Amino acid sequence: MPSPNTSAEFPAVQVEGLTVDLNGHRILEDVSFEVPQGSIVAVIGPNGSGKTTLLRAILGLTPISSGNVRLMGGPLEHARKTIGYVPQRFYFDRDFPVTVKEFLDLARHRHAPPEAVEAKLEEVGLAQEVGGQKLGQLSGGQLQRVLIAQGIMNDPTILFLDEPSTGVDIVGEAAFYGLIKHLNERHHTTILMVTHDVAVTSTLVHQVICINRRLMCSGPPQTALSEKTLADVFGSHATTYNHLHEGAHADHRH
């Protein structure tokens, strides 16, 4: 895995003192961190810790109470065309008669050639024939790959993923994270993803950000995923399960 570009003039993502209040409740408090260009960064934390809110606040989808966010050295408005985003849940009418190709074509910038749709389908591991299928006919794993294809349709500099392996079985999950690695290595895409799978972060990412309303840790997985840190983030009742796929990993649940 290539190293992130820590010598770049500015980070891909810079968050300073981010605080978010929603409906009278403080969801995030004084969160600060940086994401180097070209890195893969995982955001972990227990349910309700503010992970999705953090992503949405960075993207301007949730209002910020205080603090500052900069993407590629500037405000969000200047970076919108360089951002890809795959939400945690994608709600749509499965009976709506839109094909995969039509769905992806809606996301294609005017300057991108029509062939980009087929190229992105191939890149995420889907046969071109899938382009003619109705969106509602896809399996959970296929739909997630189509959403990734939509997220990378215009070759983003930064890709934001919220629980990207949702609805994907264990076998498909390994291939899915292989796709994430491919996007980073081939296109040098900076990837910031929310995940519940601590096991994945130990081998895939350059940096781990632990959130539980506040920033609990930020650093390489070798130091951020210590037993003490995980107990602080998930609680002392966290249980460790070991399983094997591409080596031994620890999956912490709460």
pLDDT in tens, 174-204: 777 888 888 899 889 999 999 887 877 778 8
Q: Hey, CA dihedral for 71, 72, 78, 80, is it positive or negative? A: negative
Residues 6+ apart with CB under 8 A from 89: 166
Coil, strand or helix at 241: strand
pLDDT at 242 over 50: no
Q: Which residues pair with 214 in a beta bridge?
A: 212
Full-model pTM: 0.84
pLDDT in tens, 155-178: 899 999 998 766 666 666 777 788
As a whole number of Å, the end-to-end CA separation of the chain is: 30
Q: How far apart are CA 191 and CA 93, in angstroms?
A: 29
Q: What percent of the chain lies above the pLDDT cut of 70?
A: 88
Q: Hey, CA dihedral for 224, 228, 232, 238, is it positive or negative? A: positive
**Residue 55: pLDDT band by 50, 70, 90 thresholds?**
very high
pLDDT of residue 244: 33
pLDDT in tens, 16-43: 999 999 999 999 999 999 999 999 999 9
What Rg do the C-alpha atoms of the chain give, in angstroms? Answer: 18
pLDDT of residue 239: 53
69 residue type, one letter: V
Q: How far apart are CA 44 and CA 28, in angstroms?
A: 14
Q: How far apart are CA 147 and CA 87, in angstroms?
A: 9
pLDDT of residue 234: 83
pLDDT of residue 172: 66
Domains of the chain with bracketed CATH? 13-253 (3.40.50.300)
Q: Hey, CA dihedral for 36, 37, 40, 42, is it positive or negative? A: positive
What integer is the mean pLDDT of 91-104? 86
Q: How far apart are CA 146 and CA 130, in angstroms?
A: 9
Contact 124, 153 (CB under 8 A): no
pLDDT of residue 252: 43
What integer is the mean pLDDT of 122-134? 85
